[in-house]
Amino acid sequence: MRNFGAIHRIMLGLAVVIFYSCRGIFVPDPIDPQLPKYTEVGNNVAGAFIDDGFWKSVIKYGFLTDDDVPNVTAWPLGDSLRISFGGEDKEGRSNIEFHLEGLRINSFEDLLGLKDKKIQLDGISNSGYYIKGYDQASYSNKGIGQIYFRNVSRSDTISKVIISGTFGFSVNKPGGGIVKISYGRFDYTLSNTWNFHIQ
């Protein structure tokens, strides 16, 4: 019976360590604390200004739920990559996404080749998206700007990669006008068994 109690405590301790090791760590930017500071350590956060407001992503976990988890999906046959950052703005849930082509991401390890890449979002082969709520119509508004993968490196295991960078783009509003996403930054840990997918 004592062995069962010790094993139970060890398992509980491991669960707590795993739970907290993946949660986002929001370090406020020293110039504007509404945004996370730009880091390259896998803090699992992102942020940007959206016109006169801001958008924020901080990974959170609850019982059988998770929020703001980034997802990266590669389609090797079509040589395309989708990167989706879940988050929220002042009106609620919203995502920032990037649809990119020509990067030759055929496996999880290929993500390391993104380091130091500046990709122009031309609204044709490479686009940024600002998805409010779950509005699928937002995908018709292709954003123009840039995403810069400033750092992509191995984390503590071969199954994890830290991906960090900056972004900014503009998209047309459905009723006219432009939404400007600026001073964007992201710093996530990706896992080949959790939030990276090959289609």
Give the angle 16-158-23 at the CA atoms, nearest 5°.
30
Which tokens belong to 186? 């992201």
In a domain, 102, yes or no: yes
Q: How far apart are CA 84 and CA 8, in angstroms?
A: 37
Closest listed residue to residue 94, CA positions, set 56, 144, 52, 49: 56
Tens-digit pLDDT string for the chain (199 aa): 555 555 545 444 444 444 444 579 999 999 999 999 999 999 999 999 999 899 999 998 765 556 789 999 999 999 999 999 999 999 899 999 999 999 999 999 999 999 999 999 999 999 999 998 877 778 889 999 999 999 999 987 889 999 999 999 999 987 789 999 999 999 999 999 889 999 9
The radius of gyration of the chain from alpha carbons, rounded to an integer in Å, stands at 18
Q: What is the pTM of this model?
A: 0.85
- The β-bridge relationship of strands 92-101 and 80-89 is antiparallel
Range of the domain at 31: 24-198
* Assigned domain for 4 exists: no
Residue 30 lies in a domain: yes
In total, how many domains does the chain have? 1
Q: Are 145 and 121 a contacting pair, CB within 8 Å?
A: yes
* Token digits of residue 53: 């407001």
Q: Which residue has the tokens 């609850």?
A: 62
**Tokens 């930017």 label which residue?**
29
In a domain, 2, yes or no: no
Contact 187, 36 (CB under 8 A): yes
Amino acid at 136: Q
